[in-house]
Amino acid sequence: MSQRLHDLPEPPPANELGYAAYSGWACCWCGKSLLGMRGTVSAGISRGRQGAHVLDMEVYCCPDCAAARRR
């Protein structure tokens, strides 16, 4: 279960994320694999658009990045 933090900056846009981060398998900030990791948090919505197709997707980050970026 992930906890939602509202004090994190917006995640990178969808077109800058790799497939793993966009799919929620990797940290959207450092790219570390989140599979089996405890304490992952929602990083918010990564915004993106490809033509008429909206790519907005909730992405996740590792606890280290969440702690480093929490304001």
Specify the residue, 15 or 33, whose C-beta has the smaller distance to Zn ion.
33
Q: Is 49 left (phi over 0), alpha (psi -120 to 50) or beta?
A: beta
Q: Which is nearer to Zn ion, 3 or 50 (CB)?
A: 3
Nearer to Zn ion, 56 or 64 (CB): 64
Compute the least distance from the CB of residue 66 to Zn ion, in Å.
8
Q: Which residues contact 26 (CB under 8 A, 6 or more apart)?
A: 18, 20, 32, 33, 34
To which H or E segment does residue 65 belong? helix 63-69
Q: Which residues bind Zn ion (CB under 5 A)?
A: 27, 29-30, 32, 62, 65
In angstroms, what is the minimal distance from the CB of 52 to Zn ion? 32
